[in-house]
Chain A
Amino acid sequence: MMKDWFRNIIGVIIFVIVGIFLYSVVIHNTFGADKMVLGNHYVKDGVQETGAQNIVTTIVVLYRGFDTLGEVTVLFLAATALGAILAGFRDKKKNKKKTRASLIVSITTKFLFPMIILFGSYIFIHGHLTPGGGFPGGVVIATAFLLMFLADPYAFVSEKKLSISEGTVGMLYVITGLVGLYLFQNFLESFLPTGSPGTLLSGGIIPVIYVLIGIKVGSELTGLLNNLREDENAI
């Protein structure tokens, strides 16, 4: 077919162009060489300025806090759009018999569910001390719900409660930023004391914001999984 041939040619051309661009990036960036420009300031003065041990977290929450607020908004929009796209879809697939998972799976899920939630909370509460933070912690919490959905197809998660927790936490994030704006004339300024680096209560507003992001991401991804299930007894 003529069209397919044309399509493949265009595919190869774009492929070659992207390859040339990638090669020109690689040739100017030797692997392992010290290329830090902006990162130098963060690595040298980050701990003194913010009191948090984990520099990645510092950048995500404080130095680029506005950017992170935008990313959380993108996540919220994607989850909302998914709900809007799939709205009304599940009504057509009623009366479909579902098989439950075996006894071993469902009992194990009951034991594992609180543990996974605890682990996710640990990851986002200790985000300023160890690798991790709000985004990975929220995803870990969502996997607990995924396990529950897999074990029991009739498991019920209230979509209303999810959206309430999501909305409240999102508002609290903005309010935390506005308090910084009121006290220090900067949106998302760290208004809490820095504390001594390496302890749990350090890093100014980083733990507060990361707990909020963790709950927000967790409830958003849970809602997303809930929407993607084949049919639901809720609606």
Chain B
Amino acid sequence: MLSEIIFYGSSVALISLGIMIVLTKRNLIKMIVGLSILDSGANLFLISIGYINGGTAPIMNENWSVVVDPVPQALVLTAIVIGVAVMAMALAIVVRIYEKFGTLDIRRIKELKW
């Protein structure tokens, strides 16, 4: 029960925190930090859904019979690297935006207002 609260609670907290940062912050760098936090929260959420009580890492061996679900781990393995690359691309776009508008505040960038 305690581990349920810790893992589900912290992943939901990370996801909510990321969404709040992305939606309410005005600085583009802070919004990307929020995206990164959201990414970590989603990964943690997938991994903790795949956990099975008493399970070990899904590396088959004679000594271990109970293993955790390998499918979410396989998904998250690639998602982490893709997340890094997409984050770097977003930062590159921010570099270009700063070069053009001279500010990172989205309230002052007229073309990006919502």
Contact = CB atoms under 8 A, between A and B. Distances in A.
A60 interface: yes
Contact of A60 (B3, B61, B77, B93): B77
A39 B92 contact: no
A60 B74 contact: yes
Q: Is chain B's binding surface mostly helix, strand, loop or mixed?
A: helix
Contacts of A14: 19, 23
A235 interface: no
Interface in B66-109: 67, 69-71, 73-74, 77-78, 80-82, 84-86, 88-89, 91-93, 95-96, 99
A133 B77 contact: yes
Contact of B89 (A39, A60, A78): A78
Contact of A82 (B50, B77, B92): B92
A183 interface: no
B77 A43 contact: no
Contacts, number: 144
A74 interface: yes
Contact of A68 (B16, B59, B78, B86): B78
B33 interface: no
B69 A56 contact: no
B99 A64 contact: no
A interface: dominant SS:
helix
Interface of B: 3-4, 7-8, 12, 15-16, 19-20, 23-24, 45, 48-53, 57-61, 67, 69-71, 73-74, 77-78, 80-82, 84-86, 88-89, 91-93, 95-96, 99, 114
The 7 A-B pairs with the shortest beta carbon distances in the complex, nearest first, are A31-B4, A11-B23, A32-B53, A78-B85, A55-B58, A59-B74, A55-B70
8 contacts: A8-B24, A11-B20, A32-B4, A39-B69, A42-B58, A78-B85, A85-B93, A135-B80
